Amino acid sequence: MAQSQEHSQEHSQEQSKDFGFGEEQALLKDQARKFIEDKQPLLALRAATKGTEDPYHGGERPGSFDVAAWHEMVALGWTALAVPEAAGGLGMSLVTAVAVAEEIGRGAMPTPLTSTLQSTFVLRQASEQDAKSQQAIEWLKKIVEGSSASLAIQGASGSLEVDATDITVKNNKLNGVAYYVQDIQKVDFLVVSAKEAGHLKLFCVELNAEGVDVSYDRIVDLTRDQGRVSFSDVTATCIAESGEDVLNGALPALLTLVSADISGGCEWLLQTTAAYAKVRTQFDRPIGFFQAVKHPIVNMMIAVDESRSLTYAAAAAYDADSDTCHRAAHFAKSNASDSAEFCANRATQLHGGIGFTWEHDVQIYHKRVMHSQQLFGDGYWQRQMAANYL
């Protein structure tokens, strides 16, 4: 027993060292960056979304993404990163998944990978602590094989309280509507929360199942899609009888993955703005010479470093099974949400007139990080939640 406790402490210390970010994570992060840069996702995005840029007056936007690139990601093992070995996955840490999610955000890549990773952590939590664990493992195997997934766990209020779902279940039949479902035009199945006799349960259902109807939201983020899913007597597979415990256990991972996406996007905004300030001239000098430009860029750099540090600290806390993982995740998402607004606004402002136009990629990143700012709660809400753990 003493040896077991000693081993657990050593494992915790190892995970916490350098936030659990080692050579393996560095290599994977570098691979992800090169992969996404080679795919040049924004070129295809511009062609696919032409005429739909305005969410209020444009046409209905297709949820297109590079399907071939998705299959390559599956072949590279990215969808299997966090899947337990018992389900055929690699069983790697949240820190490892965060390294990839950060590069997805940096490349503003339209892909269901981050939503699939989030769903993976919910399924993984269910497989570890619920009597229906075998059902969760079967759906995790689908992810390893290449199926994409998203979470349908929010009601009309948008609240993340675990009992806020508007879906009910009786005899494994789902009825009701799930709101704010991410990447709904790209995924194969959903992880759904539903109430039955005052208890919250979790289910999995194929998106093309009979009785499932999808309505698409008009959002400003061009790189992602969002929608509402209606269930009418939909037969679903229960993966967790104790849905509240599973969602609470997985919440830090969900928040941390969104924070990683924001950190990557903000890094791109910082680097692009700094490069622009070196070549754009005014009064016969690069605009980066002037303090009114120089100081905001430095503040952007500080915001990015803070966001990334808190994100990896939260991931390391989750991996080490620390009592502080919820608080750390709320702090990370709080800081990332504030950094999203600050970096997006400064980047757009310092690019001048072109920063507001469709011609420049700044507006694409601006919209993406602002969407992520609200996703799973903004900075103000996160600070309220973090206060519960002080």
Task: Based on the fold, state whether residues 101 and 171 are members of the same structural domain.
Answer: no
Lowest pLDDT segment from 23-37, 156-170, 298-312: 156-170
φ/ψ of 157, rounded to 5, equals: -70, -20
Q: What tens digit of pLDDT does each residue of 50-65 get?
A: 877 777 777 777 777 8
The enclosing domain of 253 has a CATH number of 1.20.140.10
- What is the percent of the chain with per-residue pLDDT over 90, rounded to a whole number? 76
Does the pLDDT of residue 96 top 50, yes or no?
yes
pLDDT at 62: 75
Domain limits for position 167:
149-242
Pairing of strands 226-235, 212-216: antiparallel
Q: What is the pLDDT of residues 309-338, one digit of tens each?
A: 999 999 999 999 788 999 999 999 999 999
Residues 216 and 255 in one domain: no
**Whether residue 157 is found in the same domain as residue 108:** no
Same domain, 221 and 173: yes
Identify the pLDDT of residue 16: 56
The reply to whether 25 and 46 lie within a common domain is: yes
Q: Are residues 71 and 193 in the same domain?
A: no
Number of domains composing the chain: 3
Q: Which of 125-129, 277-281, 340-344 has the lowest mean pLDDT?
A: 277-281
Q: Are 221 and 194 in contact (CB under 8 A)?
A: no
Q: What is the pLDDT of residue 1?
A: 39
The answer on 207 and 283 residing in a single domain is no
Residue 58 is predicted with a pLDDT of 72
Cβ atoms of 319 and 20 closer than 8 Å:
yes
CA angle 369, 331, 250 (to 5 degrees): 85
- Residue 389: Cβ-neighbour burial (10 angstroms; 0-12, 13-18, 19+): middle
Question: Do 255 and 222 sit in the same domain of this protein?
Answer: no
Q: Tell me the average pLDDT across 108-119.
A: 97
Q: How high does pLDDT run on average in the chain? A: 91
| In a shared domain, residues 87 and 164 | no
CA trace torsion 239, 258, 98, 244 (10° rounding): -30
Shared domain check, 360 and 345 = yes
Considering the domain architecture, whether residues 233 and 254 belong to the same structural domain is answered as no
Give the pLDDT confidence of 140-162 residue by residue, as tens digits. Answer: 999 999 999 999 999 999 888 87
Confidence at residue 290, expressed as pLDDT on a 0 to 100 scale: 85
On the CB side of 12, how many CA atoms lie within 13 Å of its CA?
14
* Same domain for 217 and 154: yes
User: 209-233, pLDDT tens digit by residue?
Assistant: 999 999 999 999 999 999 999 999 9
Q: Which of 102, 118, 145 is the last residue of a domain?
A: 145
